[in-house]
Structure 1
Amino acid sequence: MAQQIGAFAEHCATHGIPPEVTASVGQRTLDILGLCVAAHRLPTSAAAIDHVLDQGGHPQATIVGVPTKVNAAQAAFANGVLAHSLDYDDTHLPSVLHPSASVVPAALAAAEHAGASGELTSRAIAVGIEVAVRLGMAGYDAELGNSVFFEHGQHATSITGAMGSSVAAAMIYGLDAKGIADVLGITASMAAGVIEANRTGGTVKRLHCGVAAQAGVTAAQLVKRGFTGPPTVLEGRFGFFQGWLHGQFFPTAITEGLGQEWSVPGIFFKPYPANHFTHTTVDAGIAFREQGITPEMVESVVVGVAGSTVRTIGEPIEVKRTPDTGYQAQFSGPYAFAAGLIGGGGLATGLDDYSDELAQDPARRALMAKVDVVADEKCNDIFPFQFPAVVTLRTTDGRELVQEVLTNRGGPARPLSDAELSRKFADNVAGRVADDVAAAVSTQVLALQDATDLPGVLAPLSTFITDTEESK
């Protein structure tokens, strides 16, 4: 299987990718770069960057928001940490992978180091994301309705993200089909991720895409210097799928339609900076607001969602109605409804709408106190291919209003335009990057395949407005 992936990647590097895939890559790269800027607000981002700068090394690639260049693998690590830390990056369904947050940082770092063209970089990102998704889907059990990776406590995003990152980096470093297969063989011994922090706490999940991106770049560099991997690294008796999935995998997900059918354009962007299960509830709140409903008019609200998501966004309901922090609000169905009904920045709600202050706002809490989250059969039938919501609102004058939001904004059924993604980017970089600079970067990155000076494209994001002001 690694040989088939290698041949596919080599073909794409030489002969190109479909136009709709190319366009999607530009959008995903812009999205990730904006998130890297926005994530500088987190203390864990500062810690990761300080760690990298402390290592020293050759100036090969850019960390977003850092004037000093570092070696390519370390730049991939730092940007991967930044890209995934806000839980605002894209999502593939039904595997629930976040592939761009590792593949894009790995590819950009390798491309700067190798002096690659925008065209090759775009092709490499596309293939890397495709490989990550296909490996993730090989671990998706349709009868179970869940990823076998998750059932085993594994973070598929970082595990398959490392593999996809390695293929992208290998293409950029000029490896042929055999070399790319060897890179997969090396990376399989480096890919990792445990999701216990989702259950009991800790910030380690923010490292996962960084570690995956770093592994991918490192593996490609090692193969270029002569290291090799096992040819049966994926399906072998002691290979990737046996080690991670205990042999329970679905190989046709990897090879069927490879090169003809692309997953990349169908990956869901996140329009709102919150758990993806809450997004259709935000949309329902927006729809009620557009009908003229105000918080004072609300008697009660019932948010119906897929039963398996209730435990994430609706239980315990007392906690979900009273989040203490913006992070807790990101996982609250009641807060999602309140945010949508009240409205905010970005594409309807932005990062500033999920602050600790707003999570504790008395007016929002009064509205959240009226919201229940329950399982809904119609939503069960659609999940996990969408994260739908059926929201029933009773007004203080006795009317019962219903909003069914059965598809997610940002997915294939309701795609975000270039203009909307540029608006999300502008919201994420506001206060750190000047408006005219942000607009110029958006234009260049959306046309990544045409870039002839990739370091020049990234340079405006290496120094923030605040950095400039502080140095005066």
Structure 2
Amino acid sequence: MVAEISAQTRRLAEFLSAAASTPLPPEVLHKTKHHVIDTIAAMVSGAELPPGKRGLAYVADVADGASVLIGGGRAAPVEAALANGMSAHADETDDSHARSISHPGCAVVPAALAVGDLRRSSGEQVLRAVAAGYDVGTRVVLSLGKPVLNTDSSGRSTHAYCGLFGAAATASTLYGFTEEQARHALSYAAQSASGVTSWVRDPNHVEKAFVFAGMPASNGVRAAAMVASGCDGVDDVFSGVPNFLDALSAEVRRDELADGLGERYEIMHTNIKKFAVGSPAQAAVQAMLELVEEEPIDPAQVANIRIVLPHDLCRVVDNRSMPDICCQYLVAGTLVDRAFTFAMAHDDDRMTDPVITALRQRTDLVPDPEKAGVRTADVTVTLADGRTRQRYIGAVRGTVDDPMTDDEVTAKAVDLMEPVLDAAATGELMERLWSLEGCADIGEITGRLTAGALAEARR
């Protein structure tokens, strides 16, 4: 019997089967490098944080295999993708795609490195596979209907779903799948789709890093690896009866699966964070940074700080116990330091500093009932003499509306990696990453990031 395959699924699979050999437009290639650099930097710094350490510990006893663990040894691709994914989302510095409410990079890039290392893929092949992962993961989420993040109720996690299908697409591209194999890999991915919004209750970010990155990266790599080993599957998991989309949504938008493929590159619509903090706090940090750069503010003279955020973001960053996702702490720390630093954003002890504590007690975080699905902030500082300082941020630096320059991407990556790799090793790695399309074997990159390579760099 000949299986009926929808036009959308066929187009999606045809796109993947051609992605490895299809050059990216120059501007897309360059933007993809931004995201690979940004995610690798997040992996390196995140390997030193609790979620990264837990992921590495989980796979510590796995026998030597094909791909590399940042800060660890070597492991099979599925386990490597899990550990590197958890490191990539360990400190809230990874990228985000607003329309699908997802963080593609923390799952897609670890999957690309895991399979690319196994396949000895070139840097250009990895870049093409990463771009394809962003295109497919976001489109699958959008095909389920308008994404919603309501942390006051229970629901599926768009972050996990985007990462899963993105990782499967990336791995399929690097395996060089045919159109049929690509369809089967997506079907295996659909069977392992999971993730619910209970991650918002995770106090230490470890389970959240698993949901957003470790789980989808490893499940996506596993789906493609099974097909690569000879497993066949359902020819069209997105159409027919029963199918994945109808099982999960009553508002299916099947046309989104292939809409604009090859013309609209979703990596061009993905944001990079300038600040290593939770995405909902980005605009508030930028607002305070601009205020203190314009004119310093004496903490002792602050009567009140009022932060207005979109209503769907407030709970995520409202007086959280972790410094990098506590909006009140981040704004207070930026005011006192007159700067933003990675160290401040990850300093647990400083959250109870008397000056910081006093400012937090005088800070009101206010939800704007008219705004949702955007990253904006309105910060007003009222001084003891009644004067006010105010700043509104409508487009956060690093978003598609206000993108970072190459120098800013480099500065952020160096700030994250130097404490782990040292200055010399970081400089050499950055030089290789900026010329990634000329790299003959991605192992030249991943080989610099094993435990042995890190130990050698420190000698």
Normalised TM-score (structure 2): 0.91
RMSD: 2.5
CA contact (8 A) 1:307 1:375 kept: yes
Give the aligned partner of residue 306 of structure 2. Answer: 302
SS class of match (2:68): strand
Q: Which of 225, 232, 257 is the matching residue for 2:229?
A: 225
The 10-residue stretch of structure 1 (124-133 or 436-445) with the greater mean CA deviation from structure 2: 436-445
Counting only pairs closer than 5 Å after superposition, residues 179-258 of structure 1 correspond to structure 2 as: 179-199=181-201, 201=203, 203-208=206-211, 209-245=213-249, 247-258=250-261
Instruction: Tell me which residue corresponds to 2:85.
Output: 80
- 1:153 Cα offset (Å): 2.2
Contact 2:149 2:312 in 1 (8 A): no
Aligned mate of 1:282, from 252, 262, 285: 285
**Aligned sequence identity (%):** 23
1:370 is aligned to 2:376? no
| 1:152 CA displacement | 5.2
Structure 1 length-normalised TM:
0.88
* Partner residue of 1:353 out of 337, 345, 351: 345
In structure 2, give the amino acid aligned to 1:238: P
1:129-160 Cα offsets, whole Å, 9 max, x none, are 1111111222352xxx7259996522222223
Structure 2 CA distance for partners of 1:333 and 1:156, relative to 1, 3 Å: same
Moved more, 91-100 or 186-195: 186-195
CA distance in 1, matches of 2:452, 2:302: 43
Give SS of 1:303's match: strand
TM-aligned CA deviation for residue 180 of structure 1: 0.9
Q: Is residue 184–residue 229 contact of structure 1 (8 Å, CA) maintained in 2?
A: no
Give yes or no for the alignment of 1:407 onto 2:411.
Answer: no
Residues 268 and 77 of structure 1: is their aligned pair in 2 closer, same or farther, counting only changes over 3 Å? same
1:339 is matched with: 333
Distance 1:37 1:60, change over 3 A: same
Letter in 2 for 1:38: S
Q: For residues 454 and 441 of structure 2, what CA distance do their matches in structure 1 show?
A: 26
Secondary structure of 1:32's aligned partner: helix
Quote the offset at 1:90 in angstroms.
0.7
2:365 aligns to what SS in structure 1?
strand
Is there any run of 5+ residues in structure 1 with no aligned partner, and where?
A: 315-319
Which residue identity is paired with 1:195?
T
Aligned residue number for residue 383 of structure 2:
395
Counterparts of 2:150 and 2:348 in 1: how far apart (Å)?
35
Which residue number in structure 1 is paired with residue 19 of structure 2? 12
Contact 1:344 1:353 in 2 (8 A): no
| TM-fit CA distance, 1:7 | 0.9
Q: Give the distance between the partners of 2:168 and 2:202, measured in 1 at CA.
A: 31
Secondary structure of 2:307 counterpart: strand
Task: Mark the CA change 1:121 to 1:159 in structure 2 (over 3 Å): closer, same or farther.
Answer: same
> Judging changes above 3 Å, is the alpha-carbon distance between structure 1 residues 372 and 131 closer, same or farther for their aligned structure 2 residues?
same
Match of 1:269 among 262, 267, 272: 272
Letter in 2 for 1:96: I
What are the Cα deviations for residues 425-444 of structure 1, in whole angstroms up to 9, with x where unaligned? 11112222121221221122
In 2: Cα distance, 1:128 partner to 1:52 partner: 25
SS of equivalent residue, structure 1 residue 375: strand
C-alpha deviation, 1:448, in angstroms:
2.0
* Superposed CA offset, 1:216-261 (max 9, x none): 222222212322222220234332212333x322223222211111
1:99 aligns with 2:99: no
Judge which range, 279-288 or 148-157, deviates more: 148-157
- Cα pair distance change 1:464/1:362, threshold 3 Å: farther
The one-letter code of the counterpart of 2:199 is: A
Deviations 1:299-319 (A, max 9, x none): 2221122123233334xxxxx
Structure 2 alignment gaps of length 5 or more: 1-7
Offset at 1:282?
Answer: 0.7
1:317 corresponds to: none
Question: Deviation string for 1:343-400 (max 9, x for gaps)?
Answer: 477xx331443311111111111122221121336xx35x41x311112222222222
Does residue 57 of structure 2 align to residue 65 of structure 1? no
Distance in 1 of aligned mates of 2:134 and 2:308: 32
Match among 123, 136, 150 for residue 141 of structure 2: 136
Distance 1:200 1:10, change over 3 A: closer
One-letter code aligned to 2:96: T
CA distance in 1 between counterparts of 2:241 and 2:337 reads 53
User: Which residue pairs with 1:50 in the alignment?
Assistant: 57
Contact 1:432–1:464 (CA<8 Å) still a contact in 2?
A: no
The alignment partner of 2:191 has SS state of: coil
Read off the aligned partner of 2:214 and give its amino acid letter: G
Q: After superposition, what is the alpha-carbon deviation per residue over 1:151-187, rounded to whole angstroms, capped at 9, x for unaligned?
A: 6522222223111111111111111222111110111
CA distance in 2, matches of 1:274, 1:9: 33
Tell me the distance in 1 between the aligned counterparts of 2:450 and 2:109. 16
Counterpart Cα distance in 1 of 2:453 and 2:301: 43
CA contact (8 A) 1:283 1:340 kept: no
